[in-house]
Amino acid sequence: RNKDFQEVTLEKDGETVLRFAAAYGFRNIQNMVLKLKKGKFLYHFVEVLACPGGCLNGKGQAQTEDGKPDKALLTQMEEMYAAIPVRLPETNVHVQKMYQDWLEGVDSKKVQETLHTKYSAVNQTASNLDIKW
């Protein structure tokens, strides 16, 4: 939607399984909380950072020696990351070896116990720490 609010979906067989969002900056966080209160919140997982552009665009970002953001270096870094080919993890020989040697096969009980998580609803209790938006 904008550089400080991004959405991603995980689809399987053409059906959306999970919806993710990343909200950076207080305005986007406030909008997200308002949608949540109205019951119009579509996401399963959300990353929230108070800093516009995400906190990494703050002091943790590539800088010149005098502490100013280095846009040329940032552009160069983004180009390098974009040039890295995307590969499925299951095509990696090291991942395949891990499944065989450590996890006892792809469909083993150990895979289910180690890599899969079950979530259950948490009963929310009101406290004086609740934020009122």
* pLDDT tens for each residue of 52-97: 766 655 555 677 777 677 788 888 888 998 999 988 888 999 999 9
- CA nearest 48: which of 26, 23, 20, 27? 23
Residue 77 CA neighbour count, 13 Å, CB half? 8
**CA 116, 119, 125: angle at the middle one, nearest 5?**
155
- Yes or no: say if 24 and 53 are a contact pair by the CB < 8 Å rule: yes
Regarding the domain delimited by 1-53, which CATH topology (the fold level of the hierarchy) does it fall under? Answer: Fe-only Hydrogenase (Larger Subunit); Chain L, domain 3 (3.40.950)
Q: DSSP letters of 102-129?
A: TSSSTT-HHHHHHH------------TT
Residue 88 CA neighbour count, 13 Å, CB half? 3
* For the chain, domain boundaries: 1-53, 87-116
E runs forming strands in 45-105: 45-49
Threshold 0.85, pTM exceeds: no
pLDDT, tens digit, for every residue of 11-63? 999 999 999 988 888 888 888 888 888 888 888 998 888 877 666 555 556 77
